């Protein structure tokens, strides 16, 4: 198995979750799209995304981690690290 799948966090599942929460087509949620500048995410929506991540992956994100959720790639690395240590 290749190293592209970190812990039990599938990138495409994560992309679908974020797209659904943002009410955007999946293809708009690219790996490097900036949530705020490219996808128009405000602080309330970012919090809603964080809550969904916590529920789905059974993790806890602190305030600083929530602020660091800037792109799908960053979210994937953070969630995978959290799942791996759970």
Domains and CATH numbers, the chain: 11-85 (1.10.1200.10)
- For 48, residues 6+ apart whose C-beta sits below 8 A from its C-beta are 21
The overall average pLDDT reported for the chain is 90
Q: Give the other-Cβ count within 10 Å of 73's Cβ.
A: 14
Residue that is written with structure tokens 């964080």 in the block: 50
Print burial letters for 59-72: b (CB count within 10 Å at least 16), e (below 16): bebeeebbeebbbb
pLDDT tens sequence across 32-43: 999 999 999 999
Ranges under pLDDT 50 in the chain: 1-6
Q: What is the pLDDT of residue 3?
A: 42
Record the pTM.
0.85
Three-state secondary-structure class, residue 9: strand
């Amino acid at each position: 198995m290749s190293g592209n799948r970190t812990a039990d966090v599938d990138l495409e599942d994560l992309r679908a979750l974020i797209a659904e929460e943002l009410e955007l087509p999946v293809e708009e949620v690219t790996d490097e799209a900036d949530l705020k500048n490219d996808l128009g995410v405000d602080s309330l929506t970012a919090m809603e995304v964080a809550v969904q991540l916590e529920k789905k992956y059974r993790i806890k994100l602190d305030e600083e981690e929530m602020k660091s959720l800037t792109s799908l790639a960053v979210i994937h690395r953070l969630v995978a690290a959290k799942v791996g240590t759970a």
